[in-house]
Structure 1
């Protein structure tokens, strides 16, 4: 057994997780806890997160006083949005003597996913108390305060205190800058970030923030980190973005072609390439952004247990509204002026929400049948089988919208309309979904090319690489949707 573990450790250290996994498959049930731990780590490293739970749980069961094993189990369950289980495992780790700030952070995330926001706030504060300046915990705490209050000053108070105590640490300034940017204050975000020295992560963030303020400055920041990490994925991305913002698509394509070769399924790389092709008049663009073929709205099916679709939508609306306990939008997501649910809907045990996934099965399969198979980046992945990857609800308030974006890890993306404001019936396309307008600013504006009018019960499916956003709407009513990504199996 010791030889097997030593071999697995060596393979993991070399980045050969698949080889380590092949060795660890031979583990007997009575193997020591550390062996099951390594088995779980190898499964995680090859992307088999759900399969990693059983050996992680076995490691914890075999070591009644093993704080680290329970922490690792809690963290894994949290990553899978199994928040109730994550809370239980984290509390077990604390109960047997664990007090690490990382465990309090895992607990806080689980509690937030369960909509227990006061307790999540307390857990994040406990993490920061145990490690002042803990950037990950300060990030979660400040963003939770922002989502609950919508008040920038209140949300950044803890960050400001940490920055004053550690002015040379860019990690906390990065957190503050991101929050300010998503609060609609990009210039203040850039100023907050650059008030002190920057490490490579800080330079990268400064480049991303400067794209919409001063693209030449964004390129300068990107050039500084290119000198030390010329092939790093995020560095090449921001260099491509900066060149597009400066109206230099050919230079951008130099980086994008290298990125596409390394990560051909990255939907954001595809979207940036499409923008460059549009700017240069490349015929690959209209083939990729074939709205008639690839953007398809259809009604969801009426799930079992309801007499008709309007009855189901009414129940679904009531269920979803109860989950929207936050005041404003999260940091790092596309919505502005609204709330987003905190846990994956696919994980919900509520029968009304579970029925939604029955209701969309038919439309997804009909979409796959309609687009068919082919050699392009969309059709070549059409196996006829699918899985849901991520699922959430958004409730936009009046004047809210989705900024233009794509879904980097998806294949198909979606918008399903549950309840809509009267404004969508007006003449200005208010509240409609639009396609084709890139998130990257360009010297010659690239306007949206296609719009779809939302209707209650309508599911719009489209490639995850397509730029899409929402036109702001007026009035005094909310706009309630569910979105999810689809990946082929």
Structure 2
């Protein structure tokens, strides 16, 4: 049955609870949740069916109406207090809405003690409540009992970084490997940790230790190639990359660019842009085309795709907003896999918080994004930004706040999960005595330092309080360090339209 046919039957009262659940699954898959929500809500209220309330909550969560999702899941949990999936959903939407969810996750864990997502959520709820040490102890105790839970090790690694214990990020992996030295999954998890943290020296060492422990070369070869390439070991990287059948396309391109082998890099880029993984290639195409003087640079990254919008007139008072944001910065360290240097980043989807000041900011941002999308150039099926449809509501793939202190900055990076990315300036340091005239400025189009290509930014943007900057997520961006003071921002990624 199509969505249209199911909606027509729902309007006539012809769908039972199971059919309404199937309708909910379909609209979740196609991003059309708002079409089905009225019928799900009405049926749930009419029948007092816990599963229908759960489906309503899931659709409300998908459209980021967390206030309504909390109400729906509260109803579902009241009707089915011992249902593990309802308990987990109730805890999750409560946490994402910005409420204390520790007790709800504790209950969800008791109902489903082996569910890794519940355990990770419980740890996140404890961290949000200022109980980082308890969150660490929780995950560590579980990993003592279940040392092969790779995702749990990765959660604990990130958590330890956030509570200021980044030096212990790999400790649980190492403990598990001491008991299971030949377990490939554990080694791969450790390799992935070092790749995400861009710690390629540690990756190379881990690969050597895995081989010494008897792990097969097929499990380690690609990671050895990545480490050699990123460490600038040219001959070794060439040999290892030539000997693998894995694409490793991005890593090959980075290696070629780093070594100045532009012709080979361009050929690989052209081939990759014709394939299914082209989205990961555009940032490197921009670097290579700039080096080659290719006129497609102006097509790929026209300055018009970067917009500066003054949101100050539509935002809550910035001093009040700054107070709210500072209260959310409970971390003592930064994410292992993020760009923040010398500061902290909030956890969880910031713009989903059911807080009147945050919701006012969200509304202002949403209006600005809608205006930006409406003003984009015509649809271009070949372009990574302009190929996508424009008729979907604005959804966020992530949102957070960053608080940088003196000397802090963002390393140049990009956002592979987003369609467009952003910087909204809430509080800025006094830069009058800073020797760098561009201290704290946003850079657009300057490659990541590790690639070793000295290209100037396509744009340098001076931050101003209340100013929002929007730009394509695949564009390299970062900030210049500033000497003293602090810098408070909100950032978000707009999700690619379904």
TM-score, with structure 1 as normaliser? 0.76
8 Å Cα contact 2:399/2:493 also seen in 1 = yes
Where does residue 155 of structure 2 map in the other structure?
140
Q: Structure 1 325/354 Cα, relative in aligned 2: closer, same or farther at 3 Å?
A: same
1:416 is the counterpart of 2:430: no
Select between 477-486 and 381-390 the one with higher mean Cα deviation.
Answer: 381-390
Give 1:393 shift. 0.6
Q: Structure 1 330/446 Cα, relative in aligned 2: closer, same or farther at 3 Å?
A: same
Where does residue 359 of structure 2 map in the other structure?
354
Q: Structure 1 414/30 Cα, relative in aligned 2: closer, same or farther at 3 Å?
A: closer
8 Å Cα contact 1:105/1:127 also seen in 2 = no
SS in 2 for 1:195: helix
* Residue-by-residue CA offset, 1:226-276 (whole Å, 9 max, x unaligned): 42x45xxxx33333333333333444445444543444772x321122222
Where does residue 444 of structure 2 map in the other structure?
435
Which runs of 5 or more structure 2 residues have no equivalent in the other structure?
38-51, 59-72
Q: Within 5 A, what are the aligned runs for 1:302-451?
A: 302-303=313-314, 306=316, 312-375=317-380, 376-381=383-388, 383=390, 386-389=393-396, 390-423=398-431, 426-428=434-436, 429-439=438-448, 441-442=450-451, 445-451=454-460
Q: Structure 1 409/259 Cα, relative in aligned 2: closer, same or farther at 3 Å?
A: farther
Q: Within 5 A, what are the aligned runs for 1:441-480?
A: 441-442=450-451, 445-475=454-484, 477-480=485-488
1:236 is the counterpart of 2:255: no
Paired with 1:207 and 1:46, the residues of 2 have a C-alpha distance of: 39
Paired with 1:186 and 1:70, the residues of 2 have a C-alpha distance of: 42
Where does residue 94 of structure 1 map in the other structure?
109
Paired with 1:169 and 1:294, the residues of 2 have a C-alpha distance of: 47
Give 1:452 shift. 0.9
* Residue-by-residue CA offset, 1:3-44 (whole Å, 9 max, x unaligned): x9xxxxxxxxxxxxx99x99xx99954549xx95x8877776
Q: Structure 1 488/171 Cα, relative in aligned 2: closer, same or farther at 3 Å?
A: closer
Which runs of 5 or more structure 1 residues have no equivalent in the other structure?
5-17, 307-311
Where does residue 260 of structure 1 map in the other structure?
273
Where does residue 297 of structure 2 map in the other structure?
285
8 Å Cα contact 1:430/1:472 also seen in 2 = yes
Give 1:184 shift. 7.7
Where does residue 300 of structure 1 map in the other structure?
311
Paired with 1:169 and 1:75, the residues of 2 have a C-alpha distance of: 34
SS in 1 for 2:464: coil
Paired with 2:146 and 2:349, the residues of 1 have a C-alpha distance of: 30
Aligned-residue CA RMSD in angstroms? Answer: 4.1
SS in 2 for 1:360: helix
Q: Which of 163, 166, 190 lines up with 2:204 in the alignment?
A: 190
Paired with 2:356 and 2:98, the residues of 1 have a C-alpha distance of: 18
Paired with 1:409 and 1:480, the residues of 2 have a C-alpha distance of: 23
8 Å Cα contact 1:219/1:243 also seen in 2 = no
1:212 is the counterpart of 2:225: no
* Residue-by-residue CA offset, 1:112-164 (whole Å, 9 max, x unaligned): 45654244223312431331242211221122122212451x33433332222
TM-score, with structure 2 as normaliser? 0.75
Give 1:385 shift. 5.9
8 Å Cα contact 1:301/1:362 also seen in 2 = no
Where does residue 14 of structure 1 map in the other structure?
none
Select between 315-324 and 465-474 the one with higher mean Cα deviation.
Answer: 465-474
Give 1:179 shift. 5.5
8 Å Cα contact 1:436/1:448 also seen in 2 = yes
Paired with 1:424 and 1:140, the residues of 2 have a C-alpha distance of: 41
SS in 2 for 1:447: coil
Select between 432-441 and 411-420 the one with higher mean Cα deviation.
Answer: 432-441
Where does residue 10 of structure 1 map in the other structure?
none
1:482 is the counterpart of 2:497: no
Give 1:347 shift. 1.0
SS in 1 for 2:210: coil
Where does residue 260 of structure 2 map in the other structure?
247
8 Å Cα contact 2:394/2:494 also seen in 1 = yes
1:131 is the counterpart of 2:149: no
* Residue-by-residue CA offset, 1:142-194 (whole Å, 9 max, x unaligned): 22122212451x33433332222222335444555566677785423432343
Where does residue 13 of structure 1 map in the other structure?
none
